[in-house]
Amino acid sequence: MKVILTVLLACLGLSVDLAHSQAPFYQGKTISVILGGPPGGAADLRTRAVISFLSKHIPGNPVMVMQYMAAGGGRQAANHIYRAAPADGLVMGSMGAALVANAVLGETGVQYDIDKLIYLGTPDSAAHYLFLTHRDAGLSHWEKLRSAPGIRIGAQSVGHPVYITGRLFAYLIGLKEPRFVTGYSGPEVDLALMQREIDARVNIAETLIRRSLEWIEKGLVDLHAGIEIPKGERHPRFAHLPELESFAKSDRERKLLEMFRAFRLAGQTFFLPPGTPKERVHILQEAMRKTLKDPEFHKEYKKLTGDDPSPLVPELLEKTIRELPRNPEVVELFNKIAGAEPLPPR
């Protein structure tokens, strides 16, 4: 009986140990999500929408907490993830398109290598930018648009995505000495256009429909061209507009647009430090795939951000980043367009 009892106790202990060893790694754990931006902004809302569902799809349902590192336009956060954060699967980063753009464009303060970071995906990749002018500017025809000197194009600030996109349109369309008027918020650019402080602006198609549908319905603006992101995926309402790439005159200009699209496709990127164990990378990537397909996530994302998600799964995001153009001549041209000086000659 003593022998039998000893064997039973040993088996019981073994089964307890076995059950414990099979418990999910993330059970009872906390994952820190470091956002390269301030609290309360659009990036914060996108990130919160993701992590509230990501935890549900990670076996063990870990707690996920937000931390903020907004310095350097998010570079502080990216540098921390790359250089200082433990590569144990319990720390991940979240950062907008500047994560990739800053590295490729050679911005100061970048201490990370985008080819060594591990990518989980993004909920925010697609965008359809439109270039439009106020009807009273009298620029409805291409001849007038290209011949009119000093068209005033509104934007938030030098380097802002709307500013860069406006400059890209002006450059490739071939506007004559355009002027770029900055210092607005997004809604203030709309107001400035309607009050005729500016002649033109760039806007995202969905934002235009949601915020200013009457402009289209009442014919208050002229729509001239668009950019498809990703390429070939046209907005159904604006499919009749010429795609900006049709104005490109050289391979360098086409690669310039390819670079621009790749930056935007990166969207709100979620990423891990180099060296994170493969099994934990697999768990987190699979959880992200499930999150991005979750219908309830799509509803919550729309509720929090006002936009429909445009997901990019880990392998497609990684492919986009690995293959984006990094030719020095294209980088130089992009930096000139993104800057404050007059547009370069073509």
State how many domains the chain has.
2
Measured between alpha carbons, how far is 44 from 46 in angstroms, rounded to an integer? 6
73: domain range?
27-125+267-312
The verdict on 286 and 255 lying in the same domain is no
42 pLDDT higher than 80: yes
pLDDT of residue 9: 47
**Residue 12 within a domain:** no
The verdict on 150 and 227 lying in the same domain is yes
Closest residue by Cα to residue 328 from 231, 252, 218, 242: 252
Q: Stretch 137-148: mean pLDDT, rounded?
A: 95
The verdict on 134 and 121 lying in the same domain is no
Measured between alpha carbons, how far is 62 from 29 in angstroms, rounded to an integer? 5
Closest residue by Cα to residue 311 from 324, 320, 323, 298: 298
The verdict on 43 and 173 lying in the same domain is no
DSSP track, 67-96: EE--GGGGHHHHHHHHHTS-SSSSEEEEE-
87 pLDDT higher than 60: yes
Q: Stretch 47-65: mean pLDDT, rounded?
A: 97
Closest residue by Cα to residue 94 from 105, 80, 108, 83: 80
Strands 152-154 and 200-204: parallel
pLDDT digits (tens, 9 = 90+) for 278-326: 999 999 999 999 999 999 999 999 999 888 899 999 999 999 999 998 9
**Residue 13 within a domain:** no
Of all residues in the chain, the percent with pLDDT exceeding 70 is 94
The verdict on 213 and 138 lying in the same domain is yes
